Structure 1
Amino acid sequence: MNGIQRLALALVIIGAINWGLIGLFQFDLVAAVFGGGEQSAFLARIIYSLVGISGLVCLSLLFKTDEAYSKQRTTRLDT
């Protein structure tokens, strides 16, 4: 897994936690942190967009075979 995939996975996990908070407690953490004024609402939209794009990047991880992953890991351990 390269750096972009790791960052995307971290953002997807943050998004999943946020959706869990919304579903269980009706609390939107991103809106609470960035949703104050007009400028803050713009920042919240950027965060939501980055999480959405990260989900698309992580689709490549879903379709990656176990063979390809273990080969990539073995190559990295050898160097």
Structure 2
Amino acid sequence: MKYIHYIALTLVIVGALNWGLVGLFDFNIVTTLFGIHTILSRTIYVLIGLCGVWLISLYPRIDD
């Protein structure tokens, strides 16, 4: 289970950095690497979103 947390956290960090680059420089890493409106880029966005939901579920367990 620990590995899932690391993977989720890593993908959310990558997503946050991507949004930071979009906001600052109008540069999107995901679309640059995988193309605009491709199945792969949409899959990446969905995975990052699911990881964010997974990390939200960890809030009640922060003290553990």
> For the aligned residues, what is the CA RMSD?
1.6
What is the CA-CA distance between 1:7 and the residue it aligns to?
0.4
Q: Which runs of 4+ in 1 moved over 3 A?
A: none
Q: So what's the TM-score if we normalise by structure 2? A: 0.88
Looking at secondary structure, tell me which structure has more helix per residue. Answer: 1
Secondary structure of 2:52's counterpart equals: helix
Q: Is 1:57 matched with 2:22?
A: no
Which residue of structure 2 aligns with residue 45 of structure 1? 42
What is the CA-CA distance between 1:10 and the residue it aligns to?
0.3
Could you tell me which runs of 5 or more consecutive residues in structure 1 were left unpaired when the two chains were aligned: 69-79
What is the CA-CA distance between 1:49 and the residue it aligns to?
0.4
What is the CA-CA distance between 1:43 and the residue it aligns to?
0.4
Q: Is 1:17 matched with 2:17?
A: yes
Amino acid at match of 1:51: I
Secondary structure of 1:58's counterpart equals: helix
Q: Which has the larger radius of gyration?
A: 1
Q: So what's the TM-score if we normalise by structure 1? A: 0.73
Q: Aligned partners of 2:62 and 2:13: how far apart in 1? A: 21
Which residue of structure 2 aligns with residue 30 of structure 1? 30
- Map Cα deviations across residues 4-30 of structure 1 (whole Å, 9 max, x no partner): 111000000000000000000001110
Query: Identity of aligned pairs, percent?
Result: 47
- Map Cα deviations across residues 15-65 of structure 1 (whole Å, 9 max, x no partner): 0000000000001110000016x7xx1100000000000000111233323
Between the two proteins, the alignment pairs up a number of residues equal to 64
